[in-house]
Amino acid sequence: MEPDLFTAAAEDRQEKDPSSSPLAVRMRPRTLDEVVGQQHLLKPGSPLRRLVGEGAGGPAGASSVILWGPPGIGKTTLAYVVSQATQKRFVELSAITAGVKEVRAVIEGARRAAGGYGKETVLFLDEIHRFSKAQQDSLLPAVENRWVTLIAATTENPYFSIISPLLSRSLLLTLEPLTDDDLSALMKRALEEERGLGGAVTLSAEAEAHLLRIAGGDARRALTALEAGAGSAIAKGEEEITLETVEEAVDRAAVRYDRDGDQHYDVASALIKSIRGSDVDAALHYLARMIDAGEDPRFIARRLMISASEDIGLADPTALPLAVAAAQAVAMIGFPEAALTLSHATIALALAPKSNTATTAIGAALADVRAELAGSVPTHLRDGHYKGAAKLGHAVGYVYPHDVPGAIAAQQYAPDEIHGKRYYEPTRYGAEARYADVVEKVRERLRGS
């Protein structure tokens, strides 16, 4: 780290009075062995262990890495551990406040450190997805020439938010959501260790279950809520943090909902069945239960996208784009605002006309394929772009639909084994009524009628 005078003063104050720092900060792991979760990234010889100098010998140096995952699961924590454990020069920037000027200053400092006294530099860049293409481009020479070893953190899909040249020069490490067991271990450590709550209070099973629900897999949120509950219990002279104390401290009632048990699947099922049944009020009730219990908003959005095709389909062709847009918005904004987007999508899907023909059509087609009714592709449909294809009869006799009136040519497309089979049987609900009229006319034209 290269802190300024104000940062150094703040760190000195926290060192003298640890309680001035939030519990989540005090409980940051000091070594990779203390990290909870992400064990798939911490095996011997892993990129992160090589960054701290473990097994760093030999001709292969440590690689730049991109840490991808939702908030609160350890991206910044891993970078912090590296900063504490590595013997290398460590510099931290945030893409929220930094720009090309700051990046170039770090790179120039890294080149001087390497040339002057052989000190390698690790650059931690948080929220890298907020950098523009030009700003990300400024990192390329330093990463490629290994003037710096980059640790970049992002909550956005890196294949969309990070430029390809930077991705190709780095290792992409995907962080997995923290489990309830991970969070329980973290809270137990915080309750017992001196740098945490030092055994001042205990935690009831009901209170722990509630903290896990409202944490939603976010370690920072879990420790913040635990600290609030502990403060409330101590203020009341109680030795145990109870469910009632936690509810008072975080101002949220305990909703009966287990994110990994029957309630998780029962409430999710009830949400989708209420949408399928067009009961908008019931759907909103189940949505509210999931939101209030701390369900991952991306899980809800995925269920809505499935519902749009499974139960609405072509009766309202706008349903799927709406659900996809909602999922993208949820990923970008997160809670609490994402609740509005999920409500928007739920209401629209519940009130849309319903059709399950997309579901039944692909089900019937898959059943035939799995029954080995695949058959050979008709020769006139096969690829004819390579030398010798015509001698094999490939593409010979194919009629280009745009060359005939109506752009529908009377020719066979399906293999002989299923020629004439009908998988799609449209309803006359909503917009699908138009498809019901069109599909019969198209089938007649294909038969040459």
**What per-residue confidence (pLDDT) applies to 4?**
46
Q: What is the pLDDT along the chain (449 residues), one digit of tens a residue?
A: 444 444 444 445 555 555 668 888 888 887 778 888 777 778 877 777 777 766 454 445 567 889 888 777 778 888 878 777 767 788 888 888 888 888 889 888 888 887 777 777 888 888 898 898 988 998 998 888 888 888 898 888 888 889 999 999 888 888 887 888 889 999 999 999 998 999 999 999 989 988 888 787 788 888 988 998 998 899 989 999 998 888 888 865 444 455 544 466 778 888 999 999 888 888 898 898 888 777 788 889 999 999 999 999 888 999 999 999 999 998 887 778 889 999 999 999 998 989 898 888 888 888 888 887 777 778 877 777 777 777 777 877 888 888 888 888 888 878 878 888 888 888 888 877 888 888 888 888 888 76
- DSSP code per residue over 317-335: TTHHHHHHHHHHHHHHH-T
Q: Measured between alpha carbons, how far is 306 from 312 in angstroms, rounded to an integer? A: 10
> What does the block give as tokens for 268?
């999710």
> What does the block give as tokens for 311?
């139960």
Q: Angle at which helices 280-292 and 262-276 pack, to 10 degrees?
A: 150
**What per-residue confidence (pLDDT) applies to 261?**
47
> Nearest CA to 160 among 175, 144, 172?
172
SS3 11: helix
Write out the E strands in 344-390: none
Q: Measured between alpha carbons, how far is 92 from 125 in angstroms, rounded to an integer? A: 6
Q: Measured between alpha carbons, how far is 285 from 150 in angstroms, rounded to an integer? A: 45
**What per-residue confidence (pLDDT) applies to 390?**
74
> Nearest CA to 245 among 284, 192, 202, 213?
202
Please give the model's pTM, rounded to 2 decimal places: 0.50
Helix ranges (H only) for 193-279 are 205-215, 219-235, 243-250, 262-276
Q: Which amino acid is at 439?
A: V
